[in-house]
């Protein structure tokens, strides 16, 4: 029996992701690929983040959604530019879709490009879109076992947000255990425990984002 690993076949997507990367670097944009399960609170987090920082930065948003434009509508008033990609049932964005969306955005006017991926813990992790980093959002009601069950995403993510921390007292989410497990899976990830709803911890996440914008705008990091 011959066994083929699809990882090798993802190469074509990665080449296209690199093309996106080159284009985004040229414009000095910080690009984040936000990934989580459905309903983990990505959109609420982006709403509060963009609302707070929109006078400082011009945000572009590429919103991946299975069918609806509901999330995009929530973010529209805070974004300089927003493009919705309806994946028509597909469970992830790929580099081609993002390239297509980028064509419709005023990249030279933007400081931050947020790609809100389709709600799914599995497939989006395998597709490089040209981002500076992946941001994983895990919400407390999903359970503290998710990093061990879906290690790809948590291994790949530069930053991990544990959201809906306001629900910690009402669930059996094992926060110390989860942090320990994340530390094992991905020792270099920065982890923030937040509640996008109450605002708890969101300040730290925004400071992290500002620091990343600063780094990306400094040309030395591309040398």
Nearer of residues 85 and 194 to a copy of itself, judged by Cβ = 85
Q: Name the one range near a copy of itself by CB under 8 A: 51-59, 100-108, 165-173, 206-214.
A: 100-108
- Per rule CB under 8 A, is residue 104 in the interface with a copy of itself? yes
Binding residue (CB under 8 A) for a copy of itself from 34, 35, 40, 101: 101
**At its nearest, how many Å lie between a copy of itself and the CB of residue 188?**
21
**At its nearest, how many Å lie between a copy of itself and the CB of residue 105?**
8
The pair phi, psi for residue 162, each rounded to 5°, is: -95, 105
CA angle, corner 203, sides to 147 and 144, nearest 5? Answer: 15
Structure tokens at 174: 């094992």
Q: Name the one range near a copy of itself by CB under 8 A: 6-14, 50-58, 135-143, 210-218.
A: 6-14
Q: Between helices 42-53 and 202-217, what is the axis angle to 10°?
A: 60
Binding letters toward a copy of itself, positions 43-82, x by CB under 8 A: --------------------------x--xx--x-----x
Binding residue (CB under 8 A) for a copy of itself from 100, 149, 180, 214: 100
- Per rule CB under 8 A, is residue 84 in the interface with a copy of itself? yes
Residues 6+ apart with CB under 8 A from 193: 162, 165, 175, 200, 201
d(CA 12, CA 28): 25
d(CA 153, CA 123): 9
Binding residue (CB under 8 A) for a copy of itself from 91, 148, 168, 206: 91
**At its nearest, how many Å lie between a copy of itself and the CB of residue 133?**
19
Which among 157, 163, 91 is positioned nearest to 122, based on CA atoms?
91
Q: Name the one range near a copy of itself by CB under 8 A: 49-57, 85-93, 159-167, 192-200.
A: 85-93
d(CA 87, CA 186): 30
Q: How far from each other are the two terminal CA atoms of the chain, in whole angstroms?
A: 46
3-state secondary structure of 33: strand
Question: Which residues would be at the binding site for a copy of itself (CB under 8 A)?
Answer: 1-7, 9-10, 12, 69, 72-73, 76, 82-91, 94, 96-97, 100-101, 104, 122-123, 125-126, 152
């Amino acid at each position: 029996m011959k066994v083929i690993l699809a990882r090798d076949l993802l190469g074509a997507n990665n080449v296209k992701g690199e093309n996106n990367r080159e284009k985004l670097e040229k414009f000095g944009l910080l690009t984040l690929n936000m990934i989580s399960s459905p309903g983990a609170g990505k959109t609420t987090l982006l709403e509060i983040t963009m609302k707070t920082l929109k006078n400082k930065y011009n945000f572009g948003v590429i919103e991946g959604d299975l069918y609806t434009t509901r999330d995009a509508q929530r973010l529209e008033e805070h974004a300089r530019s927003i493009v919705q990609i309806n994946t028509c049932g597909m469970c992830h964005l790929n580099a081609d879709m993002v390239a297509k969306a980028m064509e419709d955005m005023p990249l030279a006017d933007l400081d931050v490009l947020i790609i809100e991926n389709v709600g799914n813990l599995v497939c989006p992790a395998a597709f490089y879109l040209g981002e500076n980093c992946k941001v994983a959002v895990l919400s407390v009601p999903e359970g503290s076992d998710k990093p061990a069950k879906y290690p790809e995403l948590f291994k790949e993510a530069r930053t991990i947000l544990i959201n809906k921390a306001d629900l910690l007292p009402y669930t059996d989410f094992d926060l110390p255990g989860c942090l320990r497990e994340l530390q094992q899976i991905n020792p270099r990830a920065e982890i923030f425990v937040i509640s996008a709803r109450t605002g708890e911890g969101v300040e730290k996440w925004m400071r992290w984002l500002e620091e990343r914008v600063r780094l990306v705008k400094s040309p030395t990091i591309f040398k």
